[in-house]
């Protein structure tokens, strides 16, 4: 299955999704859906109890869920997902007033994907709208969208030179991140107190700026040197990260402090009720 991971928002709740290009359908993370519908602090435990009280659901569980390999806080792992039809079956066993709104939301997600395939700019528009709903500033959003563009150009370059998606992409990302920040992506997330949250969504403006510089530098160096495969790209990744490291050192010498911040999004985002009260930009 050729798949594309995406994070969707349902009533400020994050739901991990995967788009299957071959089947042209969405798959939704089962635990995220259960958490969004029930507000359960332990959705995994809720699922176990739900299967016990619904024998027919338990019996057909293997046909409802599909384990997919996705990026998690602990790296690539198998996580249970379900198609729209499968999620509809789960909803039948979940007494929640959010059931109907959630069904409507899934239909909207499917419709947006069709529109985005016809007009890719809509994907960016949707990302901007989602970040605004979460309370990010316009300056931060502009940087984040640029970082997505730069990252895509870098991964396209990796693909061109024979780097394999998955472990090799993650390893090169670690090299770049460690070179400019002094931390691997895992250590960086731990430093910020993150679990399954996206690291880049929790970077400050300066951190994003340096990460953009590192990845853009790695891309340009790769185009110039034309390395072949993962082993040759490792040095390019290190050199790209060193460009941002030099910029970081120069800035920190002027500021007199480190720009690697333990702050995460929840430390500086507005409360949800305040975001809803803001006028449209």
The count of other CB atoms within 10 Å of the CB of residue 188 is 21
Rounded Cα–Cα distance for residues 25 and 70 (Å): 17
For 9, phi and psi rounded to 5 degrees? -120, 125
Distance CA 163, CA 176 (A): 15
- For 116-127, the pLDDT digits (tens) are 443 444 466 667
Minimal CA–CA distance to 255: which of 267, 247, 263? 247
106-118, pLDDT tens digit by residue?
887 766 654 444 3
**Angstrom distance (rounded) from CA 27 to CA 172:** 28
Most confident of 27-41, 68-82, 187-201, 213-227: 213-227
Quote the pLDDT of residue 111. 62
Chain mean position to CA 71: 8
Compute the distance between CA of residue 56 and CA of residue 163 in angstroms, rounded to an integer: 45
Average pLDDT on 208-216 reads: 96
Rounded CA-CA distance 128/107 in Å is: 20
**pLDDT value for 51:** 93
Q: Label residue 207 by pLDDT band (50, 70, 90).
A: very high
Which pLDDT score, from 0 to 100, does residue 123 have? 60
Contact predicate 264/194, CB 8 Å: yes
Q: Which residue has the higher pLDDT, 135 or 281?
A: 135
pLDDT digits (tens, 9 = 90+) for 126-143: 677 777 877 888 888 888
| pTM for this predicted structure | 0.57
**Ranges 27-41, 66-80, 163-177, 233-247, most confident:** 233-247
Residue 9, pLDDT > 50, answer yes
Question: Which residues contact residue 205 at a Cβ distance below 8 angstroms, ignoring those fewer than 6 apart?
Answer: 139, 140, 143
Which tokens belong to 272? Answer: 């949800």
Q: DSSP strand E in 11-72: where?
A: 13-20, 25-29, 65-72
Sequence-ordered list of residues with C-beta below 8 angstroms from that of 43, at least 6 positions apart, any chain: 31, 32, 34, 35
Strand partners, 14: 9
End-to-end CA distance of the chain: 39
Confidence of residue 3 (pLDDT cuts 50, 70, 90): low
- What is the spatial distance between Cα 85 and Cα 77, in angstroms, rounded to a whole number? 23
Tell me how far apart the alpha carbons of residues 250 and 245 are, in angstroms, rounded to a whole number. Answer: 9
pLDDT tens per residue, range 224-272: 999 999 999 999 999 999 999 999 999 999 999 999 999 988 786 755 4
Tell me the pLDDT of the chain averaged across its residues: 85
The position carrying tokens 């635990």 is 31
């Amino acid at each position: 299955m050729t798949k594309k991971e995406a994070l969707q928002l349902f009533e400020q709740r994050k739901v991990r999704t995967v788009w299957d290009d071959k089947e042209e359908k969405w798959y939704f993370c089962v635990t995220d859906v259960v958490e969004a519908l029930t507000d359960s602090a332990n959705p995994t435990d809720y699922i176990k109890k739900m299967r016990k009280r619904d024998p027919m659901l338990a019996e057909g569980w293997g046909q409802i869920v599909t384990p997919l390999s996705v990026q998690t806080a602990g790296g690539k792992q198998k996580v249970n997902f379900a198609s729209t039809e499968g999620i509809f079956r789960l909803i039948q066993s979940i007494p929640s007033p959010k059931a109907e709104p959630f069904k409507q939301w899934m239909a909207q997600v499917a419709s947006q994907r069709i529109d985005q395939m016809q007009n890719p700019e809509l994907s960016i528009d949707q990302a901007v709208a989602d970040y605004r709903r979460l309370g990010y500033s316009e300056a931060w959003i502009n940087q984040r969208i640029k970082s997505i563009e730069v990252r895509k150009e870098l991964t396209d370059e990796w693909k061109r030179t024979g780097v394999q998606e998955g472990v090799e992409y993650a390893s090169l990302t670690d090299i770049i991140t460690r070179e400019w920040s002094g931390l691997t992506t895992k250590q960086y997330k731990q430093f910020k107190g993150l679990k399954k949250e996206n690291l880049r969504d929790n970077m400050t403006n300066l951190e994003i700026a340096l990460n953009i510089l590192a990845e853009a530098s790695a891309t340009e160096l790769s185009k110039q040197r034309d390395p072949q495969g993962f082993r040759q790209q490792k040095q390019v990744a290190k050199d790209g990260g060193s460009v941002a490291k030099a910029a970081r050192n120069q800035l920190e010498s002027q500021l007199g402090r480190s720009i690697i911040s333990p702050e995460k999004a929840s430390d500086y985002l507005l409360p949800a009720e305040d975001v809803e009260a803001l006028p449209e930009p």
